[in-house]
Structure 1
Amino acid sequence: MSSSAVVIGASGGIGAAFEAALIEEGAFEVVHGFARSRRGDAHIDLTDETSIEAAAAQVAKGPPPSLVIVATGLLHEGEKGPEKALRDLDPEWLAKTYAVNAIGPVLVAKHFLPLIPKGQRAVFAALSARVASISDNGLGGWHGYRASKAALNMMVRNLAIEEARRKSRTVVVALHPGTVDTPLSKPFQGNVPEGRLFDPERAALQLLDVIEDLKVPDSGKLFDYEGREIAF
């Protein structure tokens, strides 16, 4: 059966690399790339469910998706950045962080998972982060980012359980790409060990290899760029 791939956040560093790699591989009849900065049928805004629904309607016109990647995330914007201490918490910034990092990807799942046909292996993957692991958190700080991505991880687990009842071959996972040389990580790259800052193209290819190797029992879990499970 012919199928399509979907990349949400295709104008970002790693999202654009996902889109380019999938087009180059040629394994999908159609590769859809959506982003907030794009116009027309390629526009999507994770804080606007209407635009998510419209993007899903565009995909529904063609071959059904067997791969959906949500390559989005919000860590800093303008003068706002990850909180270092409790005194830095701001309710408006927290709400925006949750809207982009947790609520948006789940709304994508709400509208795109129903497009996947039964009996077909498919993967829904959302970019998360190792710092969202509660069991691995030994430093604290970065309250909004950690908590919103941890919320995403919980929703991935929930979605995996619910989807398994309807479509036993759909895999729903969260993925940690490592530290990627993009605007998201730019202010924090000074602390990255040598050899651990990945260019977007490498990061995308690493995660596509992980996606290719996923099995149904992997659904509902968080994996890093080497395919190792990260405990929630």
Structure 2
Amino acid sequence: MAPQAIVIGDTGGIGAAIRAELEARGYAVHGLSRSRDGFDVTDEASVEAGLAGIEGPVDLVFVASGALGTPEKSLSQLTPAELASQFAVNAMGPALVLKHAARLLPRDRFARFAALSARVGSIGDNRLGGWYSYRTSKAALNQLLHGAAIELARTHKQLVVAALHPGTVDTPFTADYPRDKLAPAEAARCLLDVLDGLSPAQSGGFFDYAGKEIVW
């Protein structure tokens, strides 16, 4: 029987590549997205309903959804609405997925849950300032995943929960970025290789696409 995976946001640039790579590795993949399925990570009823139709056990859950919004260049541009919007999509959304997907994760064997974070969510690595809402939402995501990993380790002793930084990937999300970018397929391979290489002792950690741990 093929291992099962769920990819949230499988119609996006990274999400589609993650799904394709998982299928190439022999997984049966359940994809859920807002554009195709109306799956809204900011609405708990939508998350619960979308996951209710999937039967476990599920060996891997990957949350590839997210939003950049309009990054603030200065504190004067900060607004409550942008802060709330970024937190809802980038932090609350993956946490709600984990809350309702936990029942699908096996307790008797290796399993993984990952969500896309970002290096700019690192407080220790922040040397430029700005991007207040996006940075804060990703830092909050990291804390939520870290806390969940501690709790779930009590019942799912072989589970790995990870926050993953994909690098700068060539998608519409990064269309205005001048720097060198990874192809989505390459990023997907790297992220899944990193996830495969993590042990339960590393659950709750924050890693980049090369497998290097990122400072909180």
Task: Tell me the residue number matched to 2:57.
Answer: 64
- 2:201 & 2:174 partners in 1: Cα distance? 32
Deviation at 1:49, TM superposition (A): 1.1
| Alpha-carbon distance, 1:142 to partner | 0.3
Shift in Å, 1:18: 0.6
- Map of 1:206 onto structure 2: 190
Per the normalisation by structure 2, the TM-score is 0.97
- Of 148, 151, 154, the residue aligned with 1:159 is 148
Matched position secondary structure for 2:147: helix
Distance across 2 between alignment mates of 1:183 and 1:69: 20
Residue segments in structure 2 that go unaligned for 5+ positions in a row: none
Paired residue type of 2:122:
S
In structure 1, distance between residues paired with 2:45 and 2:96: 10
User: Deviations along 1:158-182, whole A, 9 cap, x unmatched?
Assistant: 0110000111101101000000111
Unaligned runs of 5+ in 1: none
Q: How does 1:116-127 map to 2 (within 5 A)?
A: 116-127=105-116
SS in 2 for 1:184: helix
Runs of 4+ off more than 4 Å: none
> How far apart are the structure 2 equivalents of 1:204 and 1:19?
9
Report the CA distance between 1:115 and its aligned residue.
1.2
Report the number of matched residues.
216
SS in structure 2 opposite 1:107? Answer: helix
In structure 1, what is the Cα distance between the partners aligned to 2:215 and 2:133?
19
| 2:8 alignment counterpart | 8
TM norm structure 1: 0.90
Q: Answer yes or no: is 1:185 the counterpart of 2:174.
A: yes
Q: What is the match of residue 23 of structure 1?
A: 23
Give the drift of 1:152.
Answer: 0.2
Q: Is residue 2:159 matched to residue 1:170? A: yes
Letter in 2 for 1:117: P
Amino acid in the other structure paired with 2:184: P
Distance 1:201 1:58 in 2: 28
Q: Please, what is the CA RMSD of the aligned residues?
A: 1.2
